[in-house]
Amino acid sequence: MKKFFILTIITSTISFILLFFFGDFIIKKSFESILSNGLNREVKIKNFDVSYFSEEIKIEKIEISNKNFPGKLLVVDNAFFKLNALSFYEKNIIIEKIVLDGVNINYFFDITNRSRSNFTSLKRRFEGNKSPGKKTNDTDKKFLIKQLDIKNINVSANSSELNLNQKVKLSDMKFNNLGNSGESQDYKVLLKAAKKGGYALPAVNVVGTNSLNAVMEAAAKNKSDVIIQFSNSGGQFFAGKSLTDAFEAKVLGTVSAAQHIHLLAEKYGVCVVIHTDHANKALIPWVEALVGFSEEHHKKTGSPLFSSHMLDLSAEDIEFNLSECERLLKRMSPIGMSLEIELGVTGGEEDGVGSDDDIGADNPLLYTQPEDCLRAYKLLSPIGHFSLAASFGNVHGVYKPGNVKLTPEILKNAQELVQSTCNTKEKPLDLVFHGGSGSDKAKISEALSYGVFKMNIDTDTQFAFSNAVGKYVEENSKAFKYQIDPDDGTPYKKKYDPRVWLREGEVSMVNRLDEAFSDLGSTGKTLAI
């Protein structure tokens, strides 16, 4: 035992000495070997400096050789890495920051073979690593890069046949939160794809795991990305109605639901955006508490717990509305979150927010003014990403025809005013359609053409779930009165088992969402890899 102890001490001491004096050299050679094998071409590094205490790596001159072409494929003058050492023991390895300074790309192409360049084999190699049939192991590490800065970029295009050597200097590039795979691909990427493709994502309110899982099941079935959202009372119900501290229940229930999505969404094979619905003035503390949880989640994983929150201050004066939106967005934007705002009033009531008194085609509050949209854009767009629930006569719930008059042209007018005033690209506003249940399909299509990327649906899915459960109960009424049939002794356990009748509700909800995905044109358009 004593000899073993002495041997351990000696071995540890030698290892420490080797690491202290030769650690950088060893890591440098390992780095070169890994990159060379991964890229299938020679990689050379001039200097490699590791600071173990500050968790920083500084590299001087990275050279990647060409294959079958002269010169170098890529030369990086200086590279800086800021690591998160503790994350190496977690599922997601976090790199806090990467700076590449002096990036020189040499592009060679063969004019006689248009498909051949010095990047062709490299591209094929990466495509081979992402083959459709390849499954990832649950234990595989994932890399999350919080910040990537690329500076002083120079590209050289070369062709010996044409005697061409054209050099171009590119603008510096900055990226945030790269590598976030799984449950929620960057929200802005999803909405940009939706607007470009002329479709929208359903935003479905849920109250528990049954409705939540049904939404993910429907999204997977339709190969569409989806937005799952929670109202304050939906979050409270998720936590349990018996909890005496209602505010705490609203917060913790919503957090628990978000964690449920993070755990399971990747297994469904689609991107899921996690959002919270209407929060009026009284519910601002609820949103702030949830942002706090996202900030903590961002520190650990590089991404927020929630994708976005909605702040509905449409019942307040516009000055207060926009100033609070500005304040919250300044806090949310640095961690990659989006804020949904509302200008004008979406009629009806949604979990305690709003009133049925708003209903009526002659109510001017139901129609957002384009000038207010412009004001919001000028104030919020420099701060971070926001989406806008502009009212065009839409209401929560389903109402008698004639009580509501949808006027999507308001959305078109708002887009054109912002575009012409601020000299932006087409459809600069990211618009949201509230009160999608029961809406005329032609009006839905028209709204999409004006830049709507998200449509809320709640009432219709609630009814679909409940209708199926009610029908099952009616058809099996004895099973809900007796455990054993009093007449013939038949046991009813398999019929009153909650897993059976709750599943009926889930299936019906999935079927209703099939229609929603189709109406919004998102079927088959998931961006999940």
> Is 519 among the catalytic positions?
no
Based on the number of CB atoms within 10 Å of its own CB, is 167 exposed (0-12), middle (13-18) or buried (19 or more)?
A: exposed
Q: What are phi and psi of 175, to 5 degrees?
A: -130, 150
- On whether the CB atoms of residues 373 and 343 are closer than 8 A, the answer is yes
Alpha-carbon distance values, 117 to 67, 70, 123, 154, 285 (Å): 10, 11, 10, 18, 56
Please give the Cα distance from 80 to 441 (Å, whole number).
53
Q: What are phi and psi of 510, to 5 degrees?
A: -60, -45
- Copy the structure tokens of residue 67: 């294959």
Please tell me the chain's helix, strand, coil percentages from 3-state DSSP, rounded to the nearest 5: 45, 25, 30
Q: Which of 49, 77, 245, 277 is catalytic?
A: 277
Please give the Cα distance from 121 to 295 (Å, whole number).
41
- On whether the CB atoms of residues 307 and 187 are closer than 8 A, the answer is yes
CB atoms < 10 A from the CB of 510, how many? 22
- On whether the CB atoms of residues 523 and 199 are closer than 8 A, the answer is no
- Copy the structure tokens of residue 226: 């989806």
Please give the Cα distance from 470 to 464 (Å, whole number).
10
The string of DSSP letters for 261-284 reads HHHHHHHHTS-EEEEE----GGGH
- DSSP three-state, residue 376: helix
Q: What are phi and psi of 98, to 5 degrees?
A: -130, 130
Opening angle at CA 54, ends 49 and 58, nearest 5 = 25
Alpha-carbon distance values, 435 to 34, 132, 318, 448, 460 (Å): 53, 38, 22, 14, 10
The string of DSSP letters for 4-34 reads HHHHHHHHHHHHHHHHHHHHHHHHHHHHHHH
Which residues carry out catalysis? 277
